[in-house]
Amino acid sequence: MHTIDIEEAEKQLSTLIDNAVNGEAFLIAKNGKPLVKVEALHAASPRRIGFLQGDIAVPDDFDRMGEKEIAAMFGAEG
Protein backbone atom coordinates (compact mmCIF):
# COMPACT_ATOMS: atom_id res chain seq x y z
CA MET A 1 0.00 0.00 0.00
CA HIS A 2 1.45 3.33 -0.97
CA THR A 3 1.20 6.71 0.74
CA ILE A 4 0.51 9.94 -1.10
CA ASP A 5 0.66 13.51 0.20
CA ILE A 6 -2.70 15.26 0.45
CA GLU A 7 -1.73 17.97 -2.05
CA GLU A 8 -0.73 15.38 -4.64
CA ALA A 9 -3.88 13.36 -3.88
CA GLU A 10 -5.99 16.44 -4.71
CA LYS A 11 -4.37 16.63 -8.14
CA GLN A 12 -4.77 12.90 -8.87
CA LEU A 13 -8.01 12.13 -7.01
CA SER A 14 -9.92 10.66 -9.94
CA THR A 15 -7.07 8.32 -10.89
CA LEU A 16 -6.46 7.32 -7.27
CA ILE A 17 -10.13 6.47 -6.78
CA ASP A 18 -10.18 4.38 -9.96
CA ASN A 19 -7.12 2.50 -8.69
CA ALA A 20 -8.71 1.97 -5.26
CA VAL A 21 -11.84 0.54 -6.88
CA ASN A 22 -9.56 -1.91 -8.68
CA GLY A 23 -8.04 -3.09 -5.39
CA GLU A 24 -5.14 -0.66 -4.93
CA ALA A 25 -5.83 0.89 -1.52
CA PHE A 26 -3.68 3.85 -0.47
CA LEU A 27 -3.00 6.20 2.43
CA ILE A 28 -3.31 9.99 2.31
CA ALA A 29 -0.75 11.79 4.46
CA LYS A 30 -0.11 15.37 5.49
CA ASN A 31 3.46 16.40 6.27
CA GLY A 32 4.44 12.72 6.21
CA LYS A 33 1.83 11.70 8.79
CA PRO A 34 -0.80 9.23 7.50
CA LEU A 35 -4.33 10.59 7.95
CA VAL A 36 -6.73 8.27 6.12
CA LYS A 37 -6.83 4.96 4.30
CA VAL A 38 -8.77 4.83 1.04
CA GLU A 39 -10.03 1.50 -0.26
CA ALA A 40 -12.98 0.21 -2.26
CA LEU A 41 -16.10 -0.53 -0.25
CA HIS A 42 -16.52 -4.01 -1.71
CA ALA A 43 -12.97 -4.88 -0.60
CA ALA A 44 -13.86 -4.13 3.02
CA SER A 45 -16.97 -6.33 3.15
CA PRO A 46 -16.44 -9.20 5.58
CA ARG A 47 -17.76 -12.65 4.72
CA ARG A 48 -20.82 -13.56 6.74
CA ILE A 49 -20.05 -16.99 8.13
CA GLY A 50 -23.04 -18.72 9.67
CA PHE A 51 -25.70 -16.39 8.24
CA LEU A 52 -28.02 -19.36 7.58
CA GLN A 53 -27.60 -20.82 11.05
CA GLY A 54 -30.97 -22.04 12.27
CA ASP A 55 -32.48 -21.89 8.76
CA ILE A 56 -30.98 -25.10 7.40
CA ALA A 57 -30.03 -28.43 8.93
CA VAL A 58 -27.17 -30.68 7.89
CA PRO A 59 -27.94 -34.37 8.44
CA ASP A 60 -25.63 -36.33 10.76
CA ASP A 61 -24.76 -38.71 7.91
CA PHE A 62 -23.94 -35.91 5.45
CA ASP A 63 -20.42 -37.22 4.81
CA ARG A 64 -21.80 -40.68 3.95
CA MET A 65 -24.76 -39.61 1.78
CA GLY A 66 -24.69 -41.32 -1.61
CA GLU A 67 -21.61 -43.38 -0.79
CA LYS A 68 -23.03 -46.54 -2.42
CA GLU A 69 -23.88 -44.68 -5.62
CA ILE A 70 -20.46 -43.01 -5.70
CA ALA A 71 -18.71 -46.34 -5.09
CA ALA A 72 -20.72 -47.89 -7.95
CA MET A 73 -19.66 -45.08 -10.31
CA PHE A 74 -16.01 -45.91 -9.62
CA GLY A 75 -16.47 -49.67 -9.75
CA ALA A 76 -15.83 -50.17 -6.05
CA GLU A 77 -18.99 -52.11 -5.29
CA GLY A 78 -18.24 -55.09 -3.27
Tens digit of each residue's pLDDT (9 = 90 or more) over 26-68: 999 999 999 999 999 875 556 778 888 888 888 899 899 999 9
Its domain, for residue 23, covers: 2-53
- Mean pLDDT score, 10-23: 94
* 14 within domain boundaries: yes
For residue 41, what are the contacts with CB-CB under 8 A and spacing of at least 6?
A: none
* 77 within domain boundaries: no
* 58 within domain boundaries: no
* 10 within domain boundaries: yes
**How high is the pLDDT of residue 44?**
53
pLDDT at 15 over 90: yes
Please give the Cα distance from 37 to 44 (Å, whole number). 12
pLDDT at 77 over 80: no
Number of domains in the chain: 1
3 state DSSP class of 62? helix
* 35 within domain boundaries: yes
- Mean pLDDT score, 68-77: 87
pTM score, whole prediction: 0.52
Residue 13's domain is classified under what CATH number?
3.40.1620.10
